[in-house]
Amino acid sequence: MDSTSENILEAFNQLPEIEKHAIASEIIKRVALLDIPPLTDKALTEIADALFVEHDKMETADAEAIICS
């Protein structure tokens, strides 16, 4: 992913929840129109691994926030 894409995602993360839902909905509509080949098992595994890593980071940050408060 290039820096432009990363900037878009960072800006998305800063939005209020209602805006995140509106943008996500619009992106899903547009993605549905793309001609994208099915994901391979390897690609799905890599995506799942990345999601679990992010989830673990969020859980760690939440636990640290509780400890510090």
Q: What is the mean pLDDT of each run of 10 residues along the chain (69 residues)?
A: 93 97 96 91 96 94 85
Whole-number pLDDT of residue 67: 86
20 to each of 13, 27, 57, 65, how far by Cα in Å?
Answer: 8, 10, 21, 24
Residue with tokens 């995602």: 9
Give the C-alpha separation, 19 to 14, whole Å.
10
Cβ 12 vs Cβ 23: under 8 Å: yes
**Residue 69 structure tokens:** 């408060």
